[in-house]
């Protein structure tokens, strides 16, 4: 009985067929893993994956930083302009005061 099972086992599948089928299945599994949809991990390479879209939070932070930089530049320009106007006003008022003092 054991001899009969052993011969049936050997004739059931040839070694060449098994190893070739295993290699083909392995290559197919690797190919499928390359085109499978992306998960939460590292993005797939260029030809298979899609463009990585930044979450709204990161876009919001970048826009906030740009807005803060623009506002800071505007505030410094306004402060510079106010300083120039106040310097001109001080110079004008001091020249008027000197002219009035000279008249009296």
Give the pLDDT of residue 49: 65
**What tokens does 36 get?**
């499978």
pLDDT digits (tens, 9 = 90+) for 29-38: 999 888 776 6
Give the pLDDT of residue 91: 75
Closest of 48, 13, 15, 14 to residue 30, by C-alpha = 48
Q: What is the mean pLDDT of residues 19-32?
A: 95
Q: Locate the domains of the chain by residue range.
A: 1-52, 54-104
Give the pLDDT of residue 39: 62
CA dist., res. 93 & res. 49, Å (int): 71
CA dist., res. 91 & res. 8, Å (int): 113
């Amino acid at each position: 009985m054991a001899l009969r099972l052993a011969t049936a086992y050997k004739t059931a599948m040839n070694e060449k067929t098994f190893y070739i089928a295993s290699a083909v299945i392995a290559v197919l599994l690797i190919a499928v893993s390359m085109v499978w949809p992306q998960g939460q991990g590292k993005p797939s390479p260029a030809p298979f994956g899609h463009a990585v879209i930044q979450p709204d939070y990161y876009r919001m932070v970048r826009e906030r930083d740009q807005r803060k930089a623009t506002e800071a530049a505007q505030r410094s320009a306004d402060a510079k302009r106010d300083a120039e106007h106040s310097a001109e006003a001080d110079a004008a008022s001091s020249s008027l005061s000197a002219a009035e003092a000279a008249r009296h």
